[in-house]
Structure 1
């Protein structure tokens, strides 16, 4: 056993050459002592942002600070009613916190389910443990596809090869012998072995990755960067408009201090896009929760958006289109009653320390292990497509792809191709003339048997492919299996071009030629890991947004380079580590739900952004016009023009034209295809609409304003007239944004209109909100100007659509309805 000598620091251990330690691992007492000394792998949890951090981040925001200062100013005038906009501070904070905490809990729960558990030797037994329970000097076993969870030194190696591409960018696996150093974040490409943990916790490379990559954050995305551009644009407008209105209200309007301050606040509050960032965060967070309910772990939030933009899905066959498990259907020997071949196959299956799906199927059926002693081992790798065992006098045996190990013109190779054409997986068992670990292995291979494995096509695979076809998303099947077998499965599923499967060994390495081939063909077999990566790059070079699905270690490089990597929950730890999305239930059919959720998020945030930016544009423009009017009045000795609205007016405008509708629209079904140019489309609607509302409201106010000598009632009537004009056009902008109409959108619009009917229709609400439409002439003028504004918004919408080639429709068709239920 290992010595329990004190080790300096919690991170670094020493290589113990005691063979008993290497064989047995630590004892329970040794583990307890290391835990007590803090020598544990205390890496941060995924989504490690605490509830306290979430509360702080949602309460102490720049927008809340601005609104808070304005609230204090209004309350200082004694008008509590005009401080109702302060409820926005509470709403922003509470709703944001609730949704983010829900998303955090969903991510935490799914991350635990998805977590890879390294096999650790303790007390002479190997047990899978969570990475957090690994301690310094633990002996951790390795097999193909395993991720190295802490830094260490190799103590056992059987043709062990480690892929360090995620750390160094080098694609070629690195052979590791006893004494070699391995780093967390790399993974086993071939072979098996064990290593001792020498760096754990925050000292290990994996912890540094977790600190940066595993938190619940809105990292860079096209949608997020577009919103940031919009906010920057708004900031540039707000500063001069705000200064103008402050000067006008405090120095030019001639009002007393209290009404001047309330008017100033009423002008500044709607300039703040208080709900835009909030609605974006909520839409993403709700998306995470919805997908979590379908056992889909979203490791990076923008991947929801990214998958909605995908136009090509590269799918592996095994584990994606077919079930992960296999069943041994038949062992067809080259010579009748070749008992040695059957014994060799049973021995190879029994001696494989980390069997893949094929070996597991063979092991389950052939249980009579002859007990041969292996003298050489060649583990399976996706690059060479075969594995082997040498058993001294019992011969050298290889198991792999028939079309790789045999001449294509041989009788056995032709049999294998016929069987593969039925969609079955076929392996060749052969005897070699040299040890399997020889530099020129496998050498001359004599065919001894065909191993036929049955793969069950997933029952929902065809429906999933049909969905992608209906959404104009191309599917490319890219597999390491025999091209004929892959083509048979693709044809069974109705994939166009499946019958013309391409053998990847014939593909050109020239990127342009490869891209041309990918444009024409849909199904590829015998694809090497480096070719999968090259295919993803070739598709991207043609402007495609590519999603790659996979479950095996041979998919890691392609998953890493794809725009969106999607791993199966039963896949290797390495694939789950690099993927942005993990399908924990291993269902390829979950992908359409992810696409639909991404489209919902993108489309709804665009609608919401239209509403908030329109409000900011008309608020800024109205402030400009009032402010400039005040300066002109001072210069030319005209009557000053105070701001027409009270903060309570601003609040009721926001209720039914933006606030409630925006919240509903941000969470509603939306199946519109994701498109680039988010900022441009938002600006094309918001700027003309905002300008029309701002100018029309200003004209309506001028029409109704009775001058500086007006009575309090006349001031209220002028403000009401301007408010009617603003509400009418703002409601029509909401109606435009909601298009194309479905029944629930029409209900939403009707309810918004009824909300204002109630506010204007009852004396109590009119008095409470200081609304006075009793001046028939002024109110009629406000309605007429509002109708003119409505007409201009409608014309602008149709004209901009014609100019930019955008399809305009009033009512939804079947294509607009969610395709996944």
Structure 2
């Protein structure tokens, strides 16, 4: 056994199989290229571009540049996000403690080799499979693998699996399976992956794309047939058909969505926030309940030992306290605070059997030869509620102190313990906690303080921070765990909860979600892992245990509670702006579909050429969408993204199409040319879609008004400068046609406003919840 506990030698390490699981905090470079270049819409646009090059004029092939622009912008933005995530993921990787050549050392996870002796302590995550060779009260939680809520006691000879984590005790195991052979190799590899996983927003955009694809094929075929059969000039017919099909495609919608997410990742990365799952940004915007674990979140890390208050004169209080604090080779923050005053165990206090601290028990203990069994833990768990010691502990807790009871007991089962001293610990409030909590209150995010500490102590801190309802603390041992509805009702109507077990934290998240809440959970300890995993958004502190950082979607690398408002703000910015951008792109799609169907039904030529759609789309959609996707906002996201966008885009698109066709038809007189008719239609098209842009950017801040005005100015330049006018084939048939086009556009703008207003709910932002941007 001694040899097994010395670990491998350097020579054995050099010849052993490594834990060669590649670090994948982001998509590979090749995957990024494929995702941005080889898309369905890029293929469709390429085919249409080839048709124009064969049968039309090269000026009408400008839309082909969309493929290049979309691909390059998407690749550049995702590469920026990749660099940010890769850098943070490396920092976030917790080192692994091993013993080699008889000495303990820390190594990177990928440097583990088959046969390594890996040392374990509370909060450690198991990255490879193995066999336990040493155990001092070692308890391993395997719930993420098998769903079993109770931790498993591990003794020498027992098997342990990657993907589990230590909740109590310490020990060591020998790695028997590493790399791809390990049980949870996939879970480990995906833990910090930049992923485009499912979300309401992405599902909504994908649904738009699917429906539009179904529409483009039959409508495009009808349009080509109509144009070719009604017009003798085959090149003009193909050009008109291509203009309609290209305009139907929301080619920039996926791009702008990806850019908004990628830029969000980069912005959060600058604040030292590691986004481990991309949809976490969406979750940030939807959160309406934030569950905070008091220790490490509202309070700064670490504690200070306050007073040691003996309850009996004949008890060796300080010796027992020093012995208990120094019995664990991996002391928790409580033991570390006591060790600062009592750095070593007293002579003659050799520990035999011991029980490590766990959040479920809320006490630890050890049997010392010649001195009996001693326990240290929560007074309301160890002490008789009718005793004077219990009352005194309650008074201390009500004053805001964290109180522990030092007890002598006949055994290590927690029964019949006799309190011999009370120990107080002082916790330091985070200086930014009050301001951060005020932000969430202002934004309508309900805060729930959930802690394993005494309810009175938690209430005192919550009251000091000004949390609404903080003066009323609920003792979670009294909650009806067998009645989910009643539990959810209590959670809805109360703010502060003490003596919460890890299992209850998980139940709390589920109960709040059953009431329709989007729940974020913060935590840093191993007791928070299950709740973080189940929450809609898990947020771990960078100094937290490896297990919490592995399951959380967001890791605050600098442990700053004040970073949370920036997280929420970034999520809201992304979602609100993608909804705005979707309104623009889908309006374009629906006016193109409507125009195509109307031209098929009437036998008219298509009202504009591809070069016209390129110009108008760039000025009213492409360029504005790029800026809008990155704009600030504090609107809280609401469910129903798809219905809201459709209720805006369909009526707006139909009204735009009607105005454009009316202008095209009204401009047509026996001696007018197709170019002149199309010029009138394009002027109307720009004005009505420009009005849609005005509606989407509201409320009108200075930079938004400047953006809208600049787009109008550029269109005027295109009409006024001879070279540009000739390039885009604008041909005016007198002032009358221009005034007619403007007049029809004005009527169309009124119709669009009324159509959108009479189709609830509005997609534009509620003024009460929008920043000045």
Same fold (TM over 0.5): yes
Aligned: 1:767 with 2:723: no
Partner of residue 264, structure 1: 241
- How far the C-alpha of 1:336 sits from its partner, in A, is 5.2
- 1:183 matched to 2:161? The reply is yes
The aligned residue for residue 751 of structure 2 is 792
CA deviation string 1:412-461 (max 9, x = no partner) = 22222222222221111111122x2xxxx123222222221110011111
Shift of 1:151: 0.4
Instruction: Compute the displacement of 1:168 (Å).
Output: 0.4
The question of 1:680 aligning with 2:658 is answered no
Tell whether the 8 Å contact from 1:44 to 1:207 is kept in structure 2 after alignment: no
Q: Which residue of structure 1 lines up, in the alignment, with residue 681 of structure 2?
A: 722
1:210 & 1:624 partners in 2: Cα distance? Answer: 52
2:494 maps to 1:512 = no
Q: 2:276 aligns with which of 292, 295, 299?
A: 299
Match of 1:6 in 2: none
- The runs of 5 or more residues in structure 2 that have no matched partner are none
Per the alignment, in what secondary structure is the counterpart of residue 489 of structure 2? helix
Q: Report SS of the residue matched to 1:393.
A: coil
Q: How does 1:240-639 map to 2 (within 5 A)?
A: 240-255=218-233, 257-335=234-312, 340-371=316-347, 372-434=349-411, 436=412, 441-509=413-481, 510-630=483-603
Is 2:28 the partner of 1:28?
Answer: no
Q: Is 2:77 the partner of 1:99?
A: yes
SS at 1:351 equivalent: coil
Offset of residue 808 of structure 1: 7.3
Residue 633 of structure 1 corresponds to none
- TM-score normalized by the length of structure 1: 0.91
Select 2:610's aligned residue among 644, 647, 656: 647
Tell me by how many angstroms 1:739 deviates.
1.3
Partner of 2:634: 671
Q: 1:202 aligns with which of 159, 163, 180?
A: 180
Assess, with a 3 A threshold, how the Cα gap between structure 1 residues 205 and 785 changes in structure 2: closer, same or farther. same
Task: Within 5 Å, give how 1:39-58 maps onto structure 2.
Answer: 39-58=17-36
Q: Could you give the per-residue CA deviations for residues 700-757 of structure 1, whole angstroms, max 9, x where no partner exists?
A: 11111245xx56xx22111100001111100000001111221111111111111111
**Cα offset for 1:806?**
7.6
Rounded to whole Å, the distance in 1 between the matches of 2:415 and 2:201 is 55
Shift of 1:199: 0.3
Please list every run of 5 or more consecutive structure 1 residues that lacks an aligned counterpart in the other structure. Answer: 1-18, 631-640
User: Post-superposition shift, 1:212?
Assistant: 5.2
Give yes or no for contact 2:136–2:354 (8 Å, CA) kept in 1: yes
The alpha-carbon distance between structure 1 residues 368 and 53, as it changes in their structure 2 partners (threshold 3 A), is closer
Change (3 A) 1:647 1:611: same
* Mapping of residues 102-141 of structure 1, within 5 Å: 102-141=80-119
**What's the offset of the Cα at 1:805?**
7.6
Task: Work out the CA distance in 2 between the residues paired with 1:749 and 1:468.
Answer: 33
Structure 2-normalised TM-score? 0.97
Task: Tell me how far apart the structure 1 counterparts of residues 741 and 151 of structure 2 sit (CA, whole Å).
Answer: 75
Residue of structure 1 in register with 2:713 after alignment: 754
Quote the RMSD (CA, aligned, Å): 1.7
How far apart, in 2, do the equivalents of 1:368 and 1:266 lie? 82
The separation in 2 between residues aligned to 1:569 and 1:689, in whole angstroms, is: 47
- CA deviation after TM superposition for structure 1 residue 200, in Å: 0.2
Q: Distance in 1 between matches of 2:33 and 2:221?
A: 32
Q: Is the 1:25–1:139 Cα contact (8 Å) retained in structure 2?
A: yes
- Shift in Å at residue 337 of structure 1? 8.6
Alpha-carbon distance in 2 for matches of 1:64, 1:129: 46
CA–CA distance in 2 between the matches of 1:784 and 1:644? Answer: 17
Answer whether contact 2:353 2:367 (CA < 8 A) is retained: yes
CA gap 1:91/1:740 in 2 versus in 1, 3 angstroms: same
Q: CA deviation digits over 1:148-169, x for unaligned, max 9?
A: 1100000001121111100001
Q: Distance in 2 between matches of 1:212 and 1:528?
A: 28
Alpha-carbon offset, residue 103 of structure 1:
1.0
Q: Residues 46 and 210 of structure 1 are in contact (CA less than 8 Å); yes or no, is this contact kept in structure 2? A: no
- Mapped to 2, the partners of 1:212 and 1:347 lie a distance apart of 42
For residues 81-100 of structure 1, the C-alpha deviation after alignment (integer angstroms, 9 at most, x for no partner) is 22211111111011100111
Residue 148 of structure 1 aligns to a residue whose secondary structure is: coil
Could you tell me how far 1:800 is from its partner in structure 2? 2.5
Structure 2 counterpart of 1:638: none
